[in-house]
């Protein structure tokens, strides 16, 4: 394979300064990339981004749940997004103490409260271990055996890496399995909430403004990481001490201007720019339309359940927020894929690839039939894509069923040696599942859970034409009633009338139980889990065969595409590992005769304030906006306080909460979104249109100072 370093060097010599595509690995900082960053205004040495075990920039960046964050003080203070910290705030809220609505501020460290279910990971190791997987990558291997072998090797690497106390390891696949890296993290378990603004600030504009520009959202929060007195990770304890990071980002003393250099460090979740035409066709024609329709009905159901009372509304808030975000994202993504004809673009590229292979006899032995095999595999995957979507939401959305399936599966897997267990059922995985179970219990509303189960069972049976879940269908068929929905209602009522899984102590006790003890409980949900598990296992085997087949075909596809020549940046898709991207402060033109400036301001925010949700600023911030203290935070060029800003940095989901750095590696903002017009950038990057949206650090300081008088936070930031 051609050296990626040479390819990138060639590419960057020809790139214009406005095309900033690429979420780069930290071990991929080439001379050409460094030169381009410097040409754009970067004043720090890019080599300082990643120097393991030293005071490098990466040591200030954390992986926080499904998002990112950054250390901003020597005492473990972390800035992230309001929506990233929302789950903790929601779990801590009640009708009496509604932190979702009112926000939270600890005036000193004794008032900081535990963040349920939250932990942070700091990357400490990033090692290429592809050589360990050669046996699993050899041609002719059975797809299911290939996948199982990859999982076994991964589990061995994880086990060995986690022998060091405090380490948490994962094996990341790059280029769809062409390369493998062992990623090591220092995991901190004691996280506490320090400061979260009110929802009218942190989520101003709600779903109307979500993914849109101009934005005026104060999407920020502060948490703190604590460790034991020996500096090692520890569960919450009163005498734990703040973690001392190797590096933290200083707050910039001067604000950004249009055209300034910016860099993002964070954990983008998933991009799909190496997708085949066949895969994109399935997404456009089936997956996204069906998913959008399903989510719309699911949202309607949860909204209806949430009208019961304030307590239920709070319990369902985090799930609804995630669903609102997902459905708008999916709608924008589908519209972009269709508008930009991404399927047709990929198809044309693959026709060019086919001709390229046909013209070179040396390539035909390796790549002949590749595109046909991909088409056949995609057809097999498409046969189960609808059913898999529904089942995934069913097992995630219904807590009692999820817990029953977990307990039943664990009672079987625990009889095996740790390395022989199925994915997600090693000893270290079960500790996480126990923790999540306790957090999930806080948000359990049985009426909602029952309604969700009935809804998804109806969808699953309607979609299961081939009888993949025949055991479940048989159980429902035995219930009283005439039609499918009437039988489902009776079946679900019987389940909830004969279960103890709503009792946390019972669930935790059952973690230690063997299969015989579980069966003896005669719990309706646990009994159901035992009856339907064989069908679930068979369905998973079918998915595993497809996944194992992709692990053979996709790396070949990527290799063949790379052989066409340096026509694109050859960086791997995002996969929740630490990446950096760079760009500049820059607006965009979404359509004819419209040009968006890169900054929004307090004046624009005030102009939107209708007093009705989600444009309902509370009196404190309105007073602050109109007060004399505003001038201190004014930008001299804007003549106002900047709220949000745009950059051309490449990003994706998971980058939420990522620090935005200026040319001196100082904190100038926090990323929280992308722009609606370019949501399909996960598949197809558009340099003139793709933008990242950030909250300006000057607005963070303004709110902390003038609205909430968070003097302790400001002092720790060195800004007061």
Q: What is the 3-state secondary structure (H, E, C) of 438-472?
A: HHHHHCCCHHHHHHHHHHHHHHHHHHCCCCCCHHH
pLDDT at 418 over 50: yes
Which whole number is the average pLDDT over 380-408?
96
pLDDT at 12 over 80: no
Task: Report the C-alpha gap between 667 and 661 in whole angstroms.
Answer: 5
Q: Which strand (E) or helix (H) includes residue 191?
A: strand 190-196
* Backbone φ, ψ for residue 369 (5° rounding): 85, -5
Task: Report the C-alpha gap between 718 and 701 in whole angstroms.
Answer: 11
* Tokens found for residue 408: 């039943």
Peptide bond into 614 cis (omega under 30): yes
The answer to whether 264 and 227 are in contact (CB under 8 A) is: no
* Backbone φ, ψ for residue 691 (5° rounding): -135, 150
Angle at 441 between CA 436 and CA 443, to 5 degrees: 105
Which whole number is the average pLDDT over 502-524?
94
pLDDT at 207 over 80: yes
pLDDT at 6 over 90: no
Return the number of other C-beta atoms located less than 10 Å from residue 520's C-beta: 11
Q: Where are the alpha helices (DSSP H) in 359-398?
A: 361-367, 370-397
Listed residue (705, 676, 708, 673) closest to 689, CA to CA: 676
Among 118-127, 138-147, 218-227, 560-569, the range scoring the smallest mean pLDDT is 560-569
Which whole number is the average pLDDT over 580-604?
97
Q: Give the end-to-end CA distance of the chain in Å, rounded to a whole number.
A: 54
Task: Report the C-alpha gap between 59 and 51 in whole angstroms.
Answer: 9
pLDDT at 568 over 90: no
The answer to whether 529 and 405 are in contact (CB under 8 A) is: yes
User: Model's pTM, two decimal places?
Assistant: 0.94
Strands (E), 230-269: 241-242, 261-266
Q: What is the DSSP letter of 246?
A: S
pLDDT, one tens digit per residue, over 294-303 is 999 999 999 9
**Sign of the torsion formed by the C-alpha atoms of 709, 711, 717 and 718:** positive
Three state DSSP letters for 42-110: CCCCHHHHCCCCCCCHHHHEEEECCEEEEECCCCCEEEECHHHHHHHHHHHCCCCCCHHHHCEECCCHH
pLDDT, one tens digit per residue, over 429-476 is 998 898 889 889 999 999 999 999 999 999 999 999 999 999 999 999
Would you place residue 566 in the very low, low, confident or very high pLDDT band (cuts 50, 70, 90)?
low
Peptide bond into 306 cis (omega under 30): no
* Furthest-apart CA atoms within the chain: distance in Å: 75
Listed residue (341, 289, 211, 325) closest to 683, CA to CA: 341
Strand bridging mode 659-661 / 120-128 = unpaired
Alpha carbon separation from 104 to 197, 202, 236, 703 (Å, rounded): 6, 12, 20, 13
Return the number of other C-beta atoms located less than 10 Å from residue 673's C-beta: 27
Q: What is the pLDDT of residue 8?
A: 34
Task: Report the C-alpha gap between 545 and 568 in whole angstroms.
Answer: 31
The rounded percent of the chain whose pLDDT value lies above 70 is: 97
Q: What is the pLDDT of residue 712?
A: 97
Taking the CA atoms of residue 287, residue 292, residue 298 and residue 299 in that order, the dihedral angle to the nearest 10 degrees is: 150
Task: Report the C-alpha gap between 563 and 21 in whole angstroms.
Answer: 20
Q: What is the pLDDT of residue 5?
A: 34
Give the bridge partners for 104, in sequence order.
196
Average pLDDT over the chain reads 94
Task: Report the C-alpha gap between 405 and 414 in whole angstroms.
Answer: 14
pLDDT at 14 over 90: no
Based on C-alpha coordinates, what's the Rg of the chain? 26
The rounded percent of the chain whose pLDDT value lies above 90 is: 91
Q: What is the DSSP letter of 204?
A: T
Angle at 651 between CA 267 and CA 669, to 5 degrees: 80
Q: What is the pLDDT of residue 719?
A: 87
Angle at 247 between CA 243 and CA 252, to 5 degrees: 115
Q: Domains plus CATH for the chain?
A: 4-119+189-272+572-716 (2.40.10.120), 277-562 (no CATH)
Higher pLDDT, 520 or 5: 520
pLDDT at 26 over 80: yes
pLDDT at 650 over 90: yes
Task: Report the C-alpha gap between 544 and 146 in whole angstroms.
Answer: 10
Listed residue (81, 119, 332) closest to 211, CA to CA: 332
Give the bridge partners for 582, in sequence order.
263
pLDDT, one tens digit per residue, over 272-288 is 999 999 999 999 999 99
Alpha carbon separation from 158 to 48, 162, 235, 246, 389 (Å, rounded): 27, 6, 22, 24, 29
Burial-class residue 175 by CB neighbours within 10 Å (0-12, 13-18, 19+).
buried
Peptide bond into 214 cis (omega under 30): yes
Among 3-17, 354-368, 378-392, the range scoring the smallest mean pLDDT is 3-17
Q: What is the pLDDT of residue 31?
A: 92
């Amino acid at each position: 394979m051609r050296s990626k370093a040479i390819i990138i060097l060639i590419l960057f010599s020809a790139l214009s300064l406005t095309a900033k595509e690429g979420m780069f690995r930290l071990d991929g900082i080439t001379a050409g990339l460094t030169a381009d960053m410097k040409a754009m205004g970067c004043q720090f040495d890019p080599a300082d981004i990643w120097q393991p075990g030293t005071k490098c920039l990466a040591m200030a960046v954390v992986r926080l749940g499904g998002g990112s964050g950054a250390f901003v003080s020597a005492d473990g203070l972390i800035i992230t997004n309001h929506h990233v910290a929302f789950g903790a705030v929601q779990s801590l809220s009640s009708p009496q103490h509604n932190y979702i609505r009112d926000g939270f501020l600890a005036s000193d460290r004794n008032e900081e409260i535990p963040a349920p279910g939250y932990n942070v990971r700091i990357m400490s190791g990033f090692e290429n271990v592809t050589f360990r997987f050669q046996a699993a990558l050899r041609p002719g291997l059975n797809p299911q055996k290939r996948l199982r072998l990859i999982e076994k090797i991964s589990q061995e690497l994880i086990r060995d890496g986690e022998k060091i106390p405090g380490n948490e390891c994962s094996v990341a696949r790059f280029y769809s399995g062409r390369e493998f890296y062992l990623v090591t993290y220092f995991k901190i378990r004691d996280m506490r909430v320090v400061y979260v603004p009110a929802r009218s600030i942190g989520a101003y504009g709600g779903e109307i403004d979500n993914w849109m520009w101009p934005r005026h959202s104060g999407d920020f929060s502060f948490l703190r990481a604590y460790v034991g007195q020996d500096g090692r990770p520890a569960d919450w304890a009163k005498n734990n001490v703040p973690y001392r990071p190797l590096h933290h980002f200083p707050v910039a003393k001067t604000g950004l201007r249009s055209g300034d250099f910016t860099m993002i460090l964070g954990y983008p979740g998933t991009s799909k720019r190496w997708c085949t035409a066949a895969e994109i066709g399935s997404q456009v024609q089936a997956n996204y339309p069906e998913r959008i329709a399903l989510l719309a009905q699911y949202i309607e159901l949860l909204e209806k359940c949430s009208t019961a009372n304030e307590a239920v509304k709070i319990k369902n808030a985090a799930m609804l927020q995630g669903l609102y975000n997902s459905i708008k994202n999916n709608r924008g993504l589908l519209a972009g894929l269709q508008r930009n004809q991404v399927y047709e673009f990929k198809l044309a590229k693959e026709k060019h690839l086919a001709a390229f292979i046909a013209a070179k006899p040396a390539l035909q032995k390796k790549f002949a039939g590749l595109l046909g095999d991909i088409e056949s595999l995609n057809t097999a995957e498409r046969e189960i894509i609808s059913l898999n979507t529904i089942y995934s939401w069913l097992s995630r959305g219904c807590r009692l069923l999820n817990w029953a399936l977990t307990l039943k599966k664990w009672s079987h897997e625990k009889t095996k040696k740790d390395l022989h267990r199925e994915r997600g059922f090693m000893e270290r995985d079960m500790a996480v599942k126990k923790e999540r179970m306790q957090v999930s219990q806080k948000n359990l509303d049985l009426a909602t859970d029952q309604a969700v189960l009935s809804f998804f069972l109806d969808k699953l049976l309607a979609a299961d034409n081939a009888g993949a879940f025949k055991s479940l269908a048989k159980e429902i068929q035995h219930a009283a009633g005439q039609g499918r929905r009437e039988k489902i209602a009776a079946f679900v009522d019987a389940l909830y009338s004969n279960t103890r899984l709503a009792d946390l102590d019972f669930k935790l006790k059952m973690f230690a139980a063997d299969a015989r003890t579980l069966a003896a409980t005669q719990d309706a949900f646990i009994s159901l889990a035992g009856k339907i598990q064989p069908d679930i296992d068979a369905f998973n085997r079918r998915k595993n065969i497809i996944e194992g087949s992709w692990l053979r075909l996709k790396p070949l596809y990527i290799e063949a595409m790379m052989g066409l020549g340096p026509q694109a940046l050859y960086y791997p898709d995002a996969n929740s590992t630490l990446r950096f991207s760079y760009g500049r402060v820059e607006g965009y033109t979404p359509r004819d005769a419209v040009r968006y400036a890169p900054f929004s301001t307090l004046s624009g925010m005030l102009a939107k304030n209708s007093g009705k949700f989600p444009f309902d600023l509370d009196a404190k911030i309105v007073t602050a906006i109109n007060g004399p203290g505003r001038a201190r935070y004014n930008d001299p060029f804007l003549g106002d306080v900047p709220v949000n800003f745009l950059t051309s940095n490449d990003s994706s989901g998971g980058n939420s909460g990522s620090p935005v750095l200026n040319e001196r590696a100082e904190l100038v903002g926090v990323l929280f979104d992308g722009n609606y017009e370019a949501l399909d950038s996960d598949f197809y990057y558009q340099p003139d249109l793709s933008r990242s949206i950030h909250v300006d650090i000057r607005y963070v300081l303004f709110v902390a100072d003038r609205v909430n008088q968070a003097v302790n936070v400001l002092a720790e930031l060195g800004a007061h």
